[in-house]
Amino acid sequence: MELLVELPSWHTAEQIAADLFVSVNTVKTHLRGIYRKLDVRTRRDAITEARARGLL
């Protein structure tokens, strides 16, 4: 959820990793999981779908 909340900020994976004190690879892995669970392929679609589901 912490990463999902960061998506609308349009920060890079590197910036998000620094903010959350995790590695860039961890951010990318979690992003893939979020995209899979929301059944989307892009960050923009993930934001739209998360908002539609009331997650953001």
| pLDDT given at position 40 | 96
The 3-state secondary structure of 5-47, one letter per residue: HHHHHCCCHHHHHHHHCCCHHHHHHHHHHHHHHHCCCCHHHHH
| pLDDT given at position 45 | 95
Q: What is the pLDDT of residues 33-46, one digit of tens each?
A: 999 999 999 999 99
Query: Which amino acid would we find at residue 34?
Result: I
Model confidence at 22, in pLDDT bands (50, 70, 90)? very high
Average per-residue pLDDT for the chain: 94
Q: Name which of 39, 53, 50 is nearest 6 in CA terms.
A: 50
- Global pTM value: 0.84
- Residue 20 and residue 52: Cα distance in Å, rounded? 25
